């Protein structure tokens, strides 16, 4: 196998691995730009993965699975909102609590309904999002360089992958070109400015959380019925936290979020590829080094080595009208 084929292989796997990150990071983008820190992304991804696997198994329809994933993720968003917007609770505590609830609830319900130690039953083919071969993929295959790139990286993904990339310009457009986006960015910086302009801070933040739930629902669904064919215990495996790191790494901006997720996905794919292989002179490198890189890069960024990551100013602070 020559190096180009290896590279194409890693690239294709990088795309697949970065999709759940991309959905989740965009989900976090909306809530954090509105001033609600969301450490609960991990939990939302997990419950929506579980819900979509169940619904897809019972109905045999992938789209109904997606819908179930979205609905459950939005419900979790509302819980987070109820604790941290309505009752002005600590956003981190609420988010962590929801992560625990998600981890426990999926196992308990999974065991009760399917009796397979927390797994759901295998979802049939009709209940899954399967790879789509784009027109001309086979014909292009023989063209040098572009051919394999088109056939193996751009073509052959499932519909959610394309939706994920479509969400990037849409998110940008919503944030920077609509009234909702202007207000959302404002409420994350200075909720007082929004309140005195006669706009409800709570309702605006709840709406941001609905968008967060919507996008997190896609992420979970992707894990359960696009990347695999069933829900498995704790299948989000920390991806929610890596997505959060990508969000910070991208300084809370949509297009950089995509690039950060692709980078982290690539590192992940590279780590998988390097498993058991040895590099000349150095020897076998533990995969953990590659797996840790997203976190290390984020720490380096936060320490101020790659520009300054300025979070939304009102992030994490519940809004109270001053007396």
Partner 1 sequence: MSLDLPKEIEPAIELVGIDKKFGAVHANKNINLTVAKGSIHGIIGENGAGKSTLMSILYGFYHADHGEIRISGKPISIRDSQAAIAAGIGMVHQHFMLVENFTVLENVMLGAEGGQLLRKGVASARKELKHLEDDYGLEVDPDAVVEELPVGSQQRVEILKALYRGAEILILDEPTGVLTPAEADHLFKVLRVLRDQGKTIILITHKLREIMAITDTVSVMRRGEMVATRKTSETTVEELAELMVGRRVLLHVEKGDANPGRVLLSVRNLSVKDARGVTMVDNVSFDVRAGEIVGIAGVAGNGQSELLEAIAGIRKPASGEIFIDGNPVAGIDPAGLRDLGLAHIPEDRHHMGLVLKFEEYENSILGYHRDQRYGRGAMLDLDAMRKDAEEKIAKYDIRPPNPRLKTANFSGGNQQKIVVAREIERDPNVLIIGQPTRGVDIGAIEFIHKRIIDMRDAGKAVLLVSVELDEIRSLSDRILVMFAGKVVGEKTGDAGEQTLGLMMAGIAA
How many whole angstroms separate alpha carbon 247 and alpha carbon 32?
9
- CA gap 246, 223 in Å, rounded: 18
Of the candidate residues 98, 186, 245, 297, the single one contacting partner 1 (CB under 8 A): 186
Q: Which residue has the tokens 């992938």?
A: 62
User: Which of 192, 256, 311, 316 is close enough to bind partner 1 by CB under 8 A?
Assistant: 192
Q: Which residue, chain included where needed, has tokens 């965009």?
A: 26
Q: Which two tokens stand for residue 191?
A: 């909720």
> Among 17, 41, 194, 243, which residue sits at the site for partner 1 (rule: CB under 8 A)?
194
Residue 166 found at the interface with partner 1 (CB under 8 A): no
User: What residues from 84 to 113 belong to the interface with partner 1 (CB under 8 A)?
Assistant: none
Q: Does position 193 bind partner 1 by CB under 8 A?
A: yes
Query: From residue 15, how far is each of 12, 121, 156, 201, 267 by CA, in Å?
Result: 5, 27, 11, 37, 11
| One residue of 177, 255, 289, 305 binding partner 1 per CB under 8 A | 177
Size of interface with partner 1, in residues (CB under 8 A): 22
Query: Using CA atoms in the order 53, 58, 64, 68, what is the torsion angle rounded to 10 degrees?
Result: -50
* CA angle (228, 73, 42) in 5-degree steps: 65
Window of 3-11, 92-100, 184-192, 218-226 that interacts with partner 1 by CB under 8 A: 184-192
Query: Using the rule CB under 8 A, which residue among 185, 256, 285, 287 binds partner 1?
Result: 185
Comparison of 163 and 189: residue with beta carbon closer to partner 1: 189
Smallest CA-to-CA distance from 297 within 254, 268, 255, 272 is with 268
Based on the shown chain and the rule CB under 8 A, indicate whether residue 317 belongs to the binding site for partner 1. no
Minimum separation from the CB atom of position 196 to partner 1 (A):
5
Assess 180 for contact with partner 1 (CB under 8 A): yes
Helix (H, G, I), strand (E, B) or coil at 132: strand
Angle at 121 between CA 216 and CA 9, to 5 degrees: 60
When the beta carbons of 159 and 317 are compared against partner 1, the nearer one is 317
323 contributes a contact to partner 1 by CB under 8 A: yes
SS3 88: coil
Which of 67, 35, 37 is CA-nearest to residue 54?
67
CB of 94 to partner 1, least distance (A): 23
Minimum CB–partner distance for residue 215 and partner 1 (Å): 20
* Binding interface with partner 1 (CB under 8 A): 177-183, 185-186, 189-190, 192-199, 313, 321, 323
């Amino acid at each position: 196998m020559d190096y180009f084929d290896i590279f194409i292989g890693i690239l294709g796997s990088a795309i697949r691995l970065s999709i759940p990150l991309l959905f989740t990071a965009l989900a976090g983008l909306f809530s954090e730009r509105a001033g609600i820190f969301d450490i609960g992304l991990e939990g939302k991804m997990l419950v929506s993965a579980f819900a979509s696997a169940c619904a897809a198994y019972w109905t045999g329809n992938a789209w109904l699975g997606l819908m179930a994933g979205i609905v459950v993720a939005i419900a979790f968003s509302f819980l987070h909102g109820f604790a941290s917007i309505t009752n002005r609770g600590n956003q981190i505590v609420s988010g962590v609590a929801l992560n625990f609830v998600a981890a426990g609830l999926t196992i308990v319900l999974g065991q009760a309904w399917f009796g397979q130690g927390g797994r759901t039953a295998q979802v049939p083919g009709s209940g899954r999002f399967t790879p789509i071969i784009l027109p001309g993929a086979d014909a292009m295959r023989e063209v040098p360089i572009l051919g394999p790139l088109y056939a193996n990286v751009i073509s052959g993904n499932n519909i959610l992958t394309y939706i994920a990339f479509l969400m990037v310009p849409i998110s940008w457009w919503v944030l920077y070109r609509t009234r909702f986006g202007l207000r959302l960015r404002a409420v994350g910086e200075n909720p007082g400015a929004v309140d005195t302009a006669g706009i409800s801070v709570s309702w605006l933040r709840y709406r941001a959380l609905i968008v967060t739930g919507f996008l997190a629902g896609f992420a979970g669904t992707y894990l359960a019925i696009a990347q695999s064919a069933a829900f498995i215990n704790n299948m989000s495996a920390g991806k929610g936290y890596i997505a959060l790191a990508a969000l910070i790494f991208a300084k809370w901006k949509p297009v950089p979020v995509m690039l950060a997720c692709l980078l982290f996905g690539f590192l992940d794919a590279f780590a998988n590829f390097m498993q058991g292989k040895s590099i000349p002179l150095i020897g076998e490198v533990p995969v953990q080094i590659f797996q840790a890189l997203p976190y290390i890069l984020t720490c380096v960024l936060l320490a101020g080595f790659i520009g300054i990551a300025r979070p939304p100013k009102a992030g994490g602070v519940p809004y109270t009208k001053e007396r």
